[in-house]
């Protein structure tokens, strides 16, 4: 959150206005199953996050869930530079097979640096830098994502504890820091290709991801 967003958040808070609201809900049939889509507006940050819910949350315990940060290049354009799109689709398949779960799609492109800077980072990677080095050369941390709003959205949906679909133990720690219990961490490992092997190795060696094939 930048200084302007921080000021805006404080103003909204001072007037008793919510910083997060559920703005819209609709049915969303997909090739993986019939989800319900919920749009949540971050009134302080000016972003919209999306939750896909399948089945009944019930008592909210042990819900299979993935917190997925937006990746336009991977999720929409099927970029071969990352494993984001296949991870998202695999998570949807696994939730559909279970019959209950949540995909939380957070507007945190490029591990939180934004779309334009992510493409700038791609250009640096083309020059030989790895994904962490590229972010740092642009003046950012290796991973700037934050999960407080994500936990608030999950809580609003009735989730009390989760089984998290992720390769990233830091994501689990980020969620638990905000009070959400994670009973199990379930990796989604996509086989490396010639394009993703170095990227995945960097995530394993520098960011601590649980990956066995690189």
Q: Which of 66, 111, 145, 152 is labelled catalytic? A: 145
H or E segment at 80?
none
| Residue ranges of domains in the chain | 24-108+145-207
Report field, pTM of the whole predicted structure over 0.75? yes
Distances (CA, A) of 198 to 22, 69, 120, 144, 146: 39, 20, 18, 21, 25
Q: How far apart, in whole angstroms, are the C-alpha atoms of residue 140 and residue 85?
A: 24
Q: Which of 83, 107, 143, 152 is labelled catalytic? A: 143
CATH of domain 24-108+145-207: 3.40.50.10990
pLDDT at position 214, please? Answer: 74
Three-state DSSP class for 105?
Answer: strand
Q: How far apart, in whole angstroms, are the C-alpha atoms of residue 24 and residue 143?
A: 30
Q: Are 55 and 96 in contact (CB under 8 A)?
A: no
Q: Are 171 and 67 in contact (CB under 8 A)?
A: yes
Which residue stretches of the chain have pLDDT < 50?
4-5, 8-9, 11-17
Q: What is the pairing mode between strands 181-186 and 161-165?
A: parallel
Instruction: Tell me, yes or no, if 126 is annotated catalytic.
Output: no
What are the tokens at 195?
């394009």
Distances (CA, A) of 127 to 139, 143, 171: 17, 21, 29
Q: How far apart, in whole angstroms, are the C-alpha atoms of residue 57 and residue 35?
A: 12
Instruction: Tell me, yes or no, if 145 is annotated catalytic.
Output: yes
pLDDT at position 175, please? Answer: 94
Q: How far apart, in whole angstroms, are the C-alpha atoms of residue 114 and residue 53?
A: 26
List the helix and strand counts (H, then E) for the chain: 8, 7
pLDDT at position 12, please? Answer: 43
């Amino acid at each position: 959150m930048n200084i302007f967003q921080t000021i805006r958040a404080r103003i909204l808070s001072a007037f008793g206005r919510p910083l997060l609201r559920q703005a819209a809900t609709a049915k969303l049939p997909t090739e993986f199953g019939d989800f319900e889509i919920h749009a949540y507006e971050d009134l302080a940050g000016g972003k919209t996050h999306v939750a896909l819910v399948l089945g009944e949350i019930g008592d909210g315990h042990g819900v299979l869930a993935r917190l997925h940060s937006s990746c336009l290049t991977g999720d929409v354009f099927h970029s071969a530079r990352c494993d984001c799109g296949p991870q998202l689709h695999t998570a949807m398949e696994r939730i559909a097979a279970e019959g209950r779960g949540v995909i939380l799609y957070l507007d945190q492109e490029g591990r939180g640096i934004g779309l334009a800077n992510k493409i700038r980072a791609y250009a640096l990677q083309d020059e030989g830098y790895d994904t962490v080095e590229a972010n740092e050369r642009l003046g950012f941390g290796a991973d700037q994502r934050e999960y407080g709003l994500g936990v608030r959205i999950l809580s609003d949906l009735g989730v009390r504890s989760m089984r998290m679909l992720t390769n990233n133990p830091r994501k689990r720690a980020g969620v638990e820091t905000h009070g959400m219990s994670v009973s199990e961490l379930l990796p989604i490992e996509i086989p490396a290709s010639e394009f993703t092997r170095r990227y995945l190795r960097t995530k394993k060696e520098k960011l601590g991801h649980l990956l066995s094939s690189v």
